[in-house]
């Protein structure tokens, strides 16, 4: 071995002697640093988890408190509405000596507070009939009040149903109807609810200007799949200011409803609005049939399974 090779070997031996402890030291430092970082990460994660648990507990506590407050509030409101309802209904059962003003006022209270759950048409009809024999000078005023509150309630219900469904309006010109007394068809309309499209045809059959009511025939056609066949519903009925869509409606397939609303009645014309909406938006008395509920649940379950397999 030459001198130069020996010097080179001695140099690397010295480097090796120096680097070995340095390498051990660096390894120790690295291990220690990783341990500190890992410990710091675990502490931060533990702290974050603890904060999340505290927030969750606080949220659950707030939700529970809110639910309890809302439940107590609903109980109080239900008790108040029950007392109000019993008091108002009692006024209609009193002797005929009760003031007509009191009856009209109580009907207004009933309509504004219970229009979504009660069929108030009989009471409106009752007071309207009483007005025909009423001799007071304020007879016209009471008639205007009855029509006004009925139209306002119908408008409130329509706004709620339009947000969930679909609608269209048509105008009945009486001169044109008189030229076709056997039946005057209005322009067809289409309503789409939850992806189901239906064609509507309204045929005016009779007009009672004195009562401000119109007799119509409503034809609802729904395509049955891709076969081209149509499901047809045909109904004849009278509509007036005292028919409210949440109560006075027609059952359709797929737990849906439709209604015709008389929104205006003038000397020469009247306006009719057709509205379609899901059955869940009908009044509390309009419970869906059990078969419709089961079909809806099965349909929802099938959609859920299809989404899960994708």
Q: Is 170 exposed, middle or buried (0-12, 13-18, 19+ CB in 10 A)?
A: middle
81-92 pLDDT tens trace: 666 667 666 666
Distance of CA 168 to the CA centre of its chain: 19
Q: At what angle do helices 121-132 and 100-114 cross, to 10 degrees?
A: 160
Per domain, the residue ranges of the chain are 100-296
Residue with the larger pLDDT of the pair 107 and 59:
107
The closest alpha carbon to 200, from 156, 175, 170, belongs to 170
Contact, 184 vs 177, CB < 8 A? yes
141-161 pLDDT tens trace: 999 999 999 999 999 999 989
Lowest mean pLDDT segment, chosen from 61-70, 152-161, 192-201, 284-293: 284-293
Backbone torsions φ then ψ of 237, nearest 5 degrees: -165, 165
- Distance between CA atoms of residues 72 and 66, nearest Å: 10
The whole-model pTM stands at 0.65
The Cα-based distances of 167 to 87, 170, 190, 309 in angstroms read: 37, 10, 8, 36
Measure CA of the first residue to CA of the last residue in the chain; give whole Å.
Answer: 75
Q: What is the mean pLDDT of residues 152-176?
A: 92
- Distance between CA atoms of residues 146 and 138, nearest Å: 13
Provide DSSP, 44-103: HHHHHHHHHHHHHHHHHHHHHHHHHHHHHHHHHHHHHHHHHHHHHHHHHTS-TTS-HHHH
Residue with the larger pLDDT of the pair 172 and 15:
172
250-268 pLDDT tens trace: 999 888 999 999 999 999 9
Structure tokens at 45: 């994660």
Looking at residue 61, what is its pLDDT? 79
């Amino acid at each position: 071995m030459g001198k130069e090779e020996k010097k080179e070997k001695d140099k690397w031996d010295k480097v090796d002697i120096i680097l070995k402890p340095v390498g051990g030291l660096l390894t120790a430092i690295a291990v220690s640093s990783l341990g500190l970082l890992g410990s710091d990460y675990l502490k931060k994660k533990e702290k974050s988890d603890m904060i999340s648990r505290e927030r969750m507990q606080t949220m659950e506590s707030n939700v529970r408190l809110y639910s309890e407050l809302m439940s107590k509030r609903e109980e109080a409101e239900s008790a108040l509405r029950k007392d109000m309802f019993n008091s108002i209904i009692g006024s209609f059962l009193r002797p005929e000596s009760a003031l007509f003003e009191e009856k009209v006022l109580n009907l207004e209270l009933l309509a504004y507070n219970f229009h979504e759950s009660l069929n108030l048409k009989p009471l409106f009809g009752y007071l309207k009939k009483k007005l025909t024999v009423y001799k007071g000078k304020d007879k016209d005023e009471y008639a205007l009040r009855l029509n006004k509150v009925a139209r306002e309630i119908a408008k409130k219900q329509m706004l709620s149903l339009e947000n969930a469904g679909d609608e269209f309006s048509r105008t009945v010109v009486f001169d044109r109807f008189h030229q076709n007394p056997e039946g005057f068809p209005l322009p067809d309309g289409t309503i789409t609810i939850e992806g189901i499209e239906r064609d509507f045809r309204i045929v005016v059959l009779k007009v009672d200007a004195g009562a401000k009511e119109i007799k119509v025939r409503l034809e609802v056609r729904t395509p049955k799949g891709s076969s081209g066949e149509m499901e047809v519903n045909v109904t004849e009925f009278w509509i007036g200011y005292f028919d409210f869509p949440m109560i006075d409606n027609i059952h359709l397939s797929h737990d849906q409803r439709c209604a015709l609303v008389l929104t205006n009645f003038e000397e020469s014309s009247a306006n009719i609005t057709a509205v379609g909406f899901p059955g869940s938006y009908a009044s509390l008395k309009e419970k869906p049939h059990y078969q419709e509920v089961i079909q809806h649940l099965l349909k929802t379950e099938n959609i859920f399974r299809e989404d899960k397999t994708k």
